[in-house]
Amino acid sequence: MPVIHIDDIDDPRLEKYRNVRDKDMRQRYSRFLTEGKRVTLRLFRCGFQAESVLTTPKRLPQIQDEIPPDIPIYLVDEQLMIQTAGFAVHTGILAVGIPPDPISIDELVERLSGKKGPLTFFVGESFKEAVNLGAVIRTSAAAGIDAIILGEHCVDAFSRRGLRSAMGAAFRIPIVKSTDLAADLHILQSKHNFKLHATVISDRAIPLDHVERSADYNDRIAILLGHEVSGLSDTLIDLADEHITIPIRDNIDSLNVNAAAALCAYHYCYICGKSPA
């Protein structure tokens, strides 16, 4: 589709770019917004679909050759882009993406059933900060975590800020948004032979460096990560098969959730056995 020049802020083709917050995109349009060259191109490279791309004459040459021919590219000047979006789009590139169809826990495990070796999931109970979740997603994809399950109270993994923080890694790793996290974790345990490892701050928990995987390196583990401030709920702690802790100095009360996720991912995916493919 040819590049379409737009010079009117009231043009209806700009509707989904106009002063849109993440909540508006998901609730009103069932869409998400990408920002920047890397995230937007990763959307297409990973096979995701989009409705359109919005960019400026300066940025167009950077992306034009990689945008599928059926995707309209709307070209506006820099000032109109700022007026339309309602914030300073320093990257000069936005796109309206189409989220994947939701899948169940059973469908997730089925999709991964052909993978050789272990399965390792991260489970986020109630992440409230999009930047934190994006960082965890990026860490997960880099380390070889196989999937992420998010609780019903988690921020949207496809929020603009989250996608930017993740550098588009959400397009590379399966992410399931649960509507009943405790029930879904019970399904993982009882039906799919997963062990639940809850990350906690406790002297009675197993130190992370003492955690081992099965000798044949063919087990299934879901690592539970809690709220950035309050940690995991008692419900999930009680549901877990093991309680894991990361030893830290007495004068520090906790780690940032992404730091904890990075340490866990490295230990479970590399230290405990073979490094991921």
Distances (CA, A) of 267 to 45, 131, 177, 219: 30, 23, 25, 15
What is the rounded distance in angstroms from the CA atom of residue 277 to the CA atom of residue 266? 14
Residue 34 and residue 167 in contact, taking contact as beta carbons nearer than 8 Å:
no
How far apart are the two ends of the chain, measured CA to CA in Å?
Answer: 38
Residue 155 and residue 22 in contact, taking contact as beta carbons nearer than 8 Å:
no
Do residues 151 and 36 share a domain?
no
Average pLDDT, the chain: 91
Residue 6 and residue 76 in contact, taking contact as beta carbons nearer than 8 Å:
yes
pLDDT value of residue 254: 76
Across the beta sheet with 175-177, the strand order is 175-177, 147-150, 119-124, 220-225, 195-199, 242-245, 206-207
Q: Does residue 276 fall inside a structural domain? A: no
Residue 26 belongs to what domain range? Answer: 3-98
Per-residue pLDDT of 184-223, as tens digits, reads 999 999 999 999 999 998 889 999 999 998 877 679 999 9
| 101-108 average pLDDT score | 96
Do residues 91 and 140 share a domain?
no
Q: Which residues pair with 175 in a beta bridge?
A: 148
Do residues 132 and 199 share a domain?
yes
| 40-63 average pLDDT score | 96
What is the rounded distance in angstroms from the CA atom of residue 260 to the CA atom of residue 254? 9
Q: Which residue has the tokens 């904890």?
A: 260
Do residues 138 and 47 share a domain?
no
The answer, as to whether pTM is greater than 0.85, is yes
Residue 65 and residue 191 in contact, taking contact as beta carbons nearer than 8 Å:
no
Number of domains observed in the structure of the chain: 2
CB atoms within 10 A of CB 124: 28
What is the rounded distance in angstroms from the CA atom of residue 152 to the CA atom of residue 27? 15
Last residue of a domain, one of 50, 66, 98: 98
Last residue of a domain, one of 98, 119, 152: 98
Q: Does residue 277 fall inside a structural domain? A: no
Do residues 22 and 60 share a domain?
yes
Q: Which residues pair with 6 in a beta bridge?
A: none
Amino acid identity of residue 113, one-letter, is S
Question: For residue 42, what is the domain's CATH number?
Answer: 3.30.1330.30
Per-residue pLDDT of 119-141, as tens digits, reads 999 999 999 999 999 999 999 99
pLDDT value of residue 273: 57
pLDDT value of residue 256: 87
| Tokens of residue 5, six digits | 């020049």
